[in-house]
Amino acid sequence: MADTHAHGKGYTLTSFLKYKLKNKDMKKNIVSMCMVALAAITFISCENVPSPYNNPNGNKGETNEGIYLNETFSSNLGKFTTVTPKGIAWQHNFGTATATGYNAKDKTNTESESYLVSPIIDLAKAKQAYLQFEYIIRYLSHNGANKVLITKKYTGNPTTTVWEDITGTLKEGSNWTDFTTYAKNLDAKYIGDTLRIAFYYSSTTTGSRTWEIKNVVVKEGTVNEEGGGEQEKPEGDGTEAAPYNVAAAIAKATASNVFVKGYIVGYVYGMKYDGARFSSDTCTVNGNVLIANSPNQIDKSKCMPVQLPAGAIRDLLNLKDHKANLKQEVLLFGQIDTYFGVPGLKFATYAKLGSTEAGTKPGGLFYENFASGKGAFTIVDESALPTGLTQIWAYDSKGHYMKASAYMKDAKHATESWLISPVIDLSKVTSATLAFEQAGKFFGTTTITNEITVEISTDYNSGKPSTATWTKATMSALPTNKNFTFVATTIDLTPYAGNSHVRIGFRYTSNITNVGTWEVKNISIK
């Protein structure tokens, strides 16, 4: 009666087993009852499990049919691993994988770089597959990067692995409760193989973003893409008719004499690319701008810095003086090269903003911008070089122009040296104009027009210039003779139209009193 009463009070099976037993028979009965109860529980549990049962993340990577990866991050980072070259690693917070370089306690930012790498994902039996996850990302205007990466050849070290960036455009959240869905169909080259994905995060001491991720799955099938479907595609071939877009220019990394088109989205403040700013209202920098495929881009990894040379191009494009240039489309001609440590556009010689042009547009009858050397021009010294002087005309690889000077080791030398063009055919035109940019300093105040001249010949072939007939041309402008700011200059070549053998000579002279420096670039004839 006492035992029945105990159950009648609603004791649990555990508390019932703790009830003080006084005889062996009762103990035996209770043990029998427990065995029956456990068997029943086991039977019921098995009935509730689908058959056959597969562990999504166990048993050598076996998954539910059609589910190749399933990680919620609800209680930890699961089988994902973190690799952190510097700073703060990915962490588990609020049921998500979280990356940030911001310390809320002391309100400081830590320069960080961290990868969250998936376990091996086996798509051997897949016909189609997609990646999907939920995320919140905040403070996108701060410095840093957020990338979704994929590879078939993980080296064990994400910094040495060749990844494909499938990030697309991530959408910034406005609170910490509403998650955005990312969905990307995996390329056919990954189907039937094994792969890994990784989430890459970086921040700087001047700013940090925060990225929260959960419910990461790779499943059989296809999906309407979100985020990943907005991956920027490289377009164009670098010609005026089909200029590179910014994605293509970044992928190109290095190239000379190419057209690039994009939207002005900001500028770089300071000496490092971490100083990228996506505004114009407080801009105090006139030496560069940032361009991107989209006028609303704020991810600096999808932007290209553009060096603005002093002169017309800088005057037209810089955000310090022209705040309204932000989000305006621009066409540029120049050289793709490393700038601020990333692919950028340098030594621009032509720009077009709206209907306004600046610099020298390539094309026409002849063009040479000295992007990588003196081109087809020849250097001829009229007389032997003085002792201690090895050259007068020379290519400046930093400024990408030709420069003449007879000043060497605090000594002034009397010289005459020519920079002579290849033969230019004007036989099919009735008019022509020579255009170029020049800068100069240290010439005589009244003698500069004799110390630097541009002369035309129709009978020069080779050898010393004095063996041919040259006619001094009238330049529309001269260098300032005060600084090395380039000045746009033109010369009318119409008197030589109809002639198939025309050469342009840039003649530099100096004496022991006046030894100037002359710089010339962006020569064109139209």
Q: How far apart are CA 257 and CA 266, in angstroms?
A: 24
CATH class belonging to 378-525: mainly beta
Per-residue pLDDT at 300 exceeds 90 = no
H-helix or E-strand spanning residue 366 = strand 366-368
Give the three-state DSSP class for 92: strand
User: H or E segment at 450?
Assistant: helix 448-451
Mean pLDDT of 130-136: 95
Token pair for 23 = 């005889």
User: Residue 117: what pLDDT?
Assistant: 98
Place of tokens 């600096």: 300
Give the residue-averaged pLDDT of 280-287: 94
| CA dihedral over 368, 374, 380, 385, signed as positive or negative | positive
Beta strands in 176-319 (DSSP E): 180-185, 194-203, 210-220, 255-268, 276-277, 288-292, 303-307
Q: Which residues pair with 306 in a beta bridge?
A: 289, 345
Whether the per-residue pLDDT at 295 is higher than 70: the answer is yes
**Residue 404 in tokens:** 């003449």
The pLDDT mean for the chain works out to 87
Structure tokens at 83: 């690799």
Bigger pLDDT: 274 or 102? 102
Give the pLDDT confidence score for residue 227 in this predicted structure: 62
What is the pLDDT, as a whole number, of residue 388? 83
214-261, pLDDT tens digit by residue? Answer: 999 999 998 877 765 455 789 999 999 999 999 999 999 999 899 999
- Integer-rounded Cα Rg, in Å, for the chain is 36
Query: Where in the chain are all domains bearing CATH 2.60.120.260?
Result: 378-525
What pLDDT is recorded for position 228?
54
Confidence tier at 64 by pLDDT (50, 70, 90): low
Assess whether the previous peptide bond of 56 is cis (omega < 30° from 0).
no
- CATH class held by domain 246-359: mainly beta
The tens digit of pLDDT for each residue in 67-102 reads 999 999 999 999 999 999 999 999 999 999 999 999
User: Which part of the chain has CATH 2.60.120.200?
Assistant: 67-220
User: What is the enclosing helix (H) or strand (E) of 412?
Assistant: strand 411-412
Give the H or E element holding residue 457. strand 452-457
User: What's the rounded Cα separation, in Å, for the pair 135 and 150?
Assistant: 18
Given this model, what pLDDT does residue 231 score? 58
Dihedral sign of CA atoms 468, 469, 475, 481 in order: positive
Q: Is the pLDDT reported for residue 327 higher than 60?
A: yes
Query: Are residues 424 and 365 in contact, defined by beta-carbon separation less than 8 angstroms?
Result: yes
Per-residue pLDDT at 472: 97
Give the per-residue pLDDT at 28: 44
Closest CA to 69 of 147, 132, 146, 124: 132
What band does 336 get if pLDDT is binned at 50, 70 and 90? very high
pLDDT, position 7: 31
β-strand partners of 264: 291
Residue holding tokens 């409760």?
177
Q: What does the pLDDT look like over 37-58, one tens digit per residue?
A: 444 444 333 333 333 333 334 3
Between 309 and 228, residue with greater pLDDT: 309
Residue 243 has what pLDDT?
A: 97
pLDDT bracket for residue 16 (50, 70, 90): very low
Per-residue pLDDT averaged across 255-277, rounded? Answer: 93
Please name every residue paired with 369 in a beta bridge, in sequence order, or none if there are none. none
DSSP 11: -
Instruction: Give me the mean pLDDT over the 430-451 stretch.
Output: 94
Hunting for tokens 């979100």 — which residue is that? 226
pLDDT, position 80:
98
| Least confident range of 14-18, 87-91, 141-145 | 14-18
**CB-CB contact of 114 with 89 (8 Å):** yes
Q: What is the pLDDT of residue 140?
A: 86
Q: What is the rounded average pLDDT of the residues 354-373? A: 90
Of 3.90.79.10, 2.60.120.200, 3.60.21.10, 3.40.50.2300, the CATH number of 67-220 is 2.60.120.200
Please, which pLDDT band fits residue 18 given cuts at 50, 70 and 90?
very low
Residue 143's pLDDT band (cuts 50, 70, 90): confident
